[in-house]
Amino acid sequence: MRRVRTPAMATSSTALADPATPSFSPLYQQIKSLILQSLHAGEWKPGEPIPSEIDLATRFRVSQGTVRKAIDELAAENLVVRRQGKGTFVATHAEQHVQYRFLKLVPDSGDVDSEGPAEREIVDCKRLRASADIARLLALRTGDAVLQVRRVLAYRGTPTILEDLWLPGAPFRGLTAERLREWHGPMYAMFETEFGVRMVRAEEKIRAVLPDEAQAALLAVTTATPLLSVERIAHTYHDTPMELRRGLYRTDTHHYRNELG
């Protein structure tokens, strides 16, 4: 089927390539970019179905096979979820299998479900100005408003994870310690439900460290206890960094697990 530029595609073309520079990306990649733009714009909300392959093929004036290949990549990246006989849905952090996608610390038994949800304590939540380090990692300017959250996650009464989070101030305006304490689901589900921000990708740095006195007290360990330090930068659509998270993990009853494809 011959591709014809539709008004929707013409409007989006500047996001695909500079008009002065020819675009040599495969057609399915261009369709994937257009679908991503619709996801980013909130045309289809998390948990909602996206149009069928036939409808998308008609919309973009391409073959159904081209649309299928684009959706295959989006599904492989956990941005959409295929459900047999029901269609394709926007992935959401509210789903059980997605909740643990970014949480790699699991009990030594390996049975995450038997441990139950973590008990969460919000230690601090405040707005401040971004330091040069935080601003660089969140693609902000030094001095821009950020929200800093400190929380402790405990399993079966044992404090296991201490996390410090930094969020850009503008997208998370209105987020308070009270709202965090009242929310009982995954934090990323709150971000997408309450603030329209969906984390779709993360990169991490891991090292072994010793805690300072304040960190050791919050985790009920000594300053001589080795901990796993994990720095994570989570991105929303178009690779926009939306969260910096620095966590300290106890590994006396848990271990860090990552599945490599």
Domain boundary among 59, 90, 121: 90
Please check whether residues 230 and 134 belong to one and the same domain: yes
Residues of the chain under the 50 pLDDT cut: 1-22, 97-100
Answer yes or no: is 2 within a domain.
no
Please check whether residues 108 and 187 belong to one and the same domain: yes
List the domain range (segments joined by +) for residue 113. 96-256
Please check whether residues 139 and 224 belong to one and the same domain: yes
Q: What is the pLDDT of residues 191-209, one digit of tens each?
A: 988 998 989 889 999 999 9
Cα(158)–Cα(105) distance, integer angstroms: 14
| Amino acid 63: pLDDT | 94
Q: What CATH number does the domain containing 40 carry?
A: 1.10.10.10
Please check whether residues 194 and 243 belong to one and the same domain: yes
Which class for 37: exposed (0-12), middle (13-18), buried (19 or more C-beta within 10 A)?
middle
Answer yes or no: is 222 within a domain.
yes
Please check whether residues 190 and 67 belong to one and the same domain: no
| Amino acid 261: pLDDT | 54
Please check whether residues 178 and 49 belong to one and the same domain: no
The pairs formed by 5-14 with CB atoms below 8 angstroms and a separation of 24 or more are 5/61, 6/59, 6/60, 6/61, 8/34, 8/59, 8/60, 9/34, 9/60, 9/61, 12/37
Answer yes or no: is 138 within a domain.
yes
Please check whether residues 79 and 106 belong to one and the same domain: no
Please check whether residues 133 and 58 belong to one and the same domain: no
Cα(250)–Cα(17) distance, integer angstroms: 46
The count of domains in the chain is 2
> Distances from the Cα of 224 to the Cαs of 10, 209, 210, 212, in angstroms?
60, 10, 6, 9
Please check whether residues 203 and 105 belong to one and the same domain: yes
The pairs formed by 73-81 with CB atoms below 8 angstroms and a separation of 24 or more are 73/28, 73/32, 74/32, 74/35, 74/36, 77/200, 77/201, 78/200, 79/36, 79/39, 79/200, 80/50
Domain boundary among 60, 90, 120: 90
Domain boundary among 68, 90, 112: 90
Answer yes or no: is 261 within a domain.
no
pTM of the predicted model as reported, rounded to 2 decimal places: 0.74
Please check whether residues 58 and 161 belong to one and the same domain: no
Please check whether residues 152 and 33 belong to one and the same domain: no
| Amino acid 54: pLDDT | 93
105 touches 163 (CB < 8 A): no
The DSSP annotation for 187-213 comes to HHHHHHHHS-----EEEEEEEEE---H
Q: What is the pLDDT of residues 149-185, one digit of tens each?
A: 999 999 989 999 999 999 999 999 999 999 999 998 8
167 touches 192 (CB < 8 A): no
